Chain A
């Protein structure tokens, strides 16, 4: 049973990686600062390094949100199923959404179903998850607006070649910082979940640190996920929200990097996704003459509103199912459903595939899944 939970956790970590490649690399890919392949390779490597860099205890994502006494292996498995399901569905639609929130939602849903209301710390949920989620995109967006205005003003008199060269370096550097920060933050969440499962199983004493194999496997899973690249999400962030220029890319990434690092310092666990999307919209607002596709942004924000409740419901349903069947068989059935569902979604996604060849094609529909129905492998010039 423990093995199944660990496999699901690593699978979640993998989806976390490819869902979030776009946060760091979408703008660099869209402006051509890096080729798509090079971008995911750089981002994957930095995620791997990032996951090892932070020496702080892998904070359990659930601590402070749910009472860990009620957490069993089945609860963890159901929570992971909720998070995985939401990640895959939003990836299919190319919607950038927060992987941490889907995981939190799933775990809370499963805990609610298992132990009822008293096991959830509602105030912790509001003050640690909901409020920061509301402020993150706004703050990051505001910083990006200011950065964009300044960068355009200051760079006006820089000769074109120096300008192009400089912004390329600037974009790559700032995107690298975001990747590194992502590795340290997000790989930790899965490390925390696996540690939680180990504690629930009795393999580890409560309050102990993540074992080395957990750190290594999480780091590898997230960086592999990043390397595979969630092209659908990258496309939405890089092409869907705004048509991005190099100075905007640099402004957006710097503001994301600053917002993520600072909020971590002040104890706010912000979603990398919310911050990046907010920055990208902000940089669209900051450049005169740029258009923000508010319809795409609106869809994205409404998906954010649904992240917690939906992944929570799936988590709760998964728990009901697994606990109803009971024991190992229950978790096995859940595992089989997750595998079947993700395979189906993957096969369906091939029909409207987004890949390095067409990731930068002109934006046509509202979401990645709306486009290119008739010509699945249309390659951009």
Chain B
């Protein structure tokens, strides 16, 4: 069987694919959410349409999320160039 189907590789593709293909976009959206986090309770109502909410913690968290996503993309491009 293993001569025909490389189950081990398929399994790895599925797991790594879930991490990169579903995980990275989720982190990206988490970043959006953190970025839009309002500075305080009172501001929340008016700020519902803003890109950057103004919360310092939110901005830092967002930066972290976007950094992870960027790293993923750069790694992907490196992957293509290296042609493994």
Contact = CB atoms under 8 A, between A and B. Distances in A.
Interface string B55-74: 00000000000000000010
Contact of A131 (B4, B35, B76, B84): B4
Nearest to A267: B9
A267 B9 CA distance: 9
B3 A53 contact: no
Given A177-B77, A251-B22, A264-B84, 12 more contacts: A139-B17, A143-B18, A150-B26, A155-B29, A162-B36, A162-B50, A162-B51, A165-B51, A166-B29, A184-B80, A256-B21, A265-B79
Contacts of A289: none
A89 interface: no
B43 interface: no
Q: Dominant SS at the B interface?
A: helix
B80 A180 contact: yes
25 contacts: A53-B80, A54-B81, A123-B3, A127-B5, A131-B4, A135-B10, A139-B13, A144-B22, A150-B25, A162-B35, A162-B36, A165-B51, A170-B25, A177-B76, A177-B77, A181-B80, A184-B80, A251-B22, A254-B22, A254-B25, A261-B76, A262-B20, A264-B84, A266-B6, A266-B12
B40 interface: no
Contacts of B29: 151, 154-155, 158, 166, 170
Contact of B33 (A147, A154, A181, A264): A154
A199 interface: no
A159 B49 CA distance: 6
Q: What size tier do the contact residues of chain A reach?
A: 35 or more
A150 B29 CA distance: 9
Contacts of B20: 254, 257-258, 261-262
B17 A143 contact: yes
A20 B12 CA distance: 26
A258 B6 CA distance: 19
Contacts of B73: 173, 177
Contacts of B77: 177, 180
Contacts of B24: 254, 258
A126 interface: yes
Contacts of B48: 159-160
A150 B81 contact: no
A254 B5 CA distance: 25
Closest 6 CB pairs of A and B: A258-B21, A56-B83, A147-B22, A255-B21, A258-B20, A166-B32
Contacts of A251: 22, 25
A19 B63 CA distance: 38
